[in-house]
């Protein structure tokens, strides 16, 4: 029962009523706080939206590969690589890093850089012609990519400024740029005729590089002198590569990917031959190959 109080100077007023001179201001204050909370949550959502774009592009690439649309599959995986490049950086920029984001990023990478390139190679590289053997070769790449991502989530690697093993986006980039390169040759009327078994062997080789201990540069050098040398050299190389990509993207990206994949084993061979060791660091937990 609600008590009623008689006000001799005004109408009847309920004691439980919220109607008061300040009630409208309270409602406006609550609405203002909700708007501020939504604005604060938006930067937190943006990295996950980029990760979702990565995952969507990977799924689209799988569908396009199954339909035989190589060009769209290649573009989709390259788009996934762009999303993966910026989602972690954006999360660190806005202070939105979290274990959830790291795990979500790894799941998206497993699809876009593990399953999608394997499906592309399976259909475009003729692995389907090998029957069960072709399926096993493609699946071996998927397993290695998943193991690579799982290892990266718990350990950043043995060496300073180096990835431990070939990063999964780089391996996927090698697959898609190779497909794009040979597709360009086919459109130009040049029949290459690469045997399916060689395609499968190359796919497995990329998988083994991902789970290997071979160090690969991550482009995040430390130290003022090293940073200055790297900055000047990287600026010149980037400018030249950009011009070449604009002139002939399929050929240039294929050569860049091939050079990055090969530089890991070549550098470790050169260092061992000359007795130059890399700086080792304690393993640290991290997440996402960005």
* Cα gap 47→37, rounded to integer Å: 17
Q: What SS3 state is found at 277? A: coil
* Cα gap 91→95, rounded to integer Å: 6
Q: Which helix (H) or strand (E) holds 217?
A: strand 215-217
Residues 6+ apart with CB under 8 A from 246: none
Which among 264, 83, 81, 69 is positioned nearest to 179, based on CA atoms?
69
Whether 79 has a pLDDT exceeding 90, the answer reads yes
Domain residue spans of the chain: 29-274
Residue 125: predicted pLDDT = 87
When pLDDT is averaged across residues 23-42 and rounded to a whole number, the result is 64
The structure tokens 């998927």 sit at 142
Give the residue ranges of DSSP H helices in the chain: 23-66, 70-94, 99-110, 116-124, 132-154, 168-187, 196-210, 224-247, 249-274
Whether 147 has a pLDDT exceeding 60, the answer reads yes
pLDDT in tens, 224-271: 444 444 556 667 666 766 666 666 778 888 898 999 999 999 998 998
Whether 4 has a pLDDT exceeding 50, the answer reads no
pLDDT band at 223 (very low <50, low <70, confident <90, very high): very low
Fold of the domain spanning 29-274: 1.20.120
Question: Which residues pair with residue 163 across a beta bridge?
Answer: 216
Residue 204: predicted pLDDT = 95
Whole-prediction pTM value? 0.76
Which among 247, 229, 248 is positioned nearest to 237, based on CA atoms?
229
């Amino acid at each position: 029962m609600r008590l009623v109080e008689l006000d001799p100077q005004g109408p009847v007023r309920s004691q439980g009523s919220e109607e008061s001179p300040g009630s409208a201001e309270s409602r406006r204050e609550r609405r203002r706080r909700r708007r501020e909370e939504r604005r604060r949550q938006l930067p937190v959502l943006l990295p996950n939206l980029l990760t979702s774009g990565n995952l969507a592009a990977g799924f689209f690439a799988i569908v396009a590969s199954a339909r035989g649309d190589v060009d769209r599959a290649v573009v989709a995986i390259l788009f996934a690589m762009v999303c993966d490049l910026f989602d972690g950086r954006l999360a660190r920029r806005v202070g939105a890093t979290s274990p959830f984001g790291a795990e979500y990023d790894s799941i998206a990478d497993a699809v876009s850089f593990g399953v999608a390139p394997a499906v592309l190679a399976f259909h475009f590289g003729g692995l389907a012609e090998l029957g069960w053997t072709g399926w096993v070769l493609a699946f071996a790449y998927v397993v290695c990519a998943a193991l690579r991502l799982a290892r990266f989530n718990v350990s950043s690697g043995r060496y300073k400024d180096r990835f431990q093993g070939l990063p999964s986006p780089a391996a996927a980039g090698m697959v898609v740029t190779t497909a794009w390169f040979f597709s360009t040759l086919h459109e130009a009327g040049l029949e290459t005729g690469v045997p399916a078994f060689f395609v499968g062997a190359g796919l497995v080789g990329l998988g083994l590089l991902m789970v290997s201990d071979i160090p690969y540069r991550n482009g995040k050098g430390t130290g003022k002198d090293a940073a200055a040398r790297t900055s000047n050299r990287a600026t010149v190389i980037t400018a030249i590569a950009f011009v070449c990509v604009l002139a002939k993207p399929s050929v240039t990206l294929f050569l860049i990917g091939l050079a990055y994949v090969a530089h890991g084993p070549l550098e470790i061979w050169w260092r061992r031959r000359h007795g130059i060791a890399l700086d080792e660091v304690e393993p640290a937990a991290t997440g996402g190959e960005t």
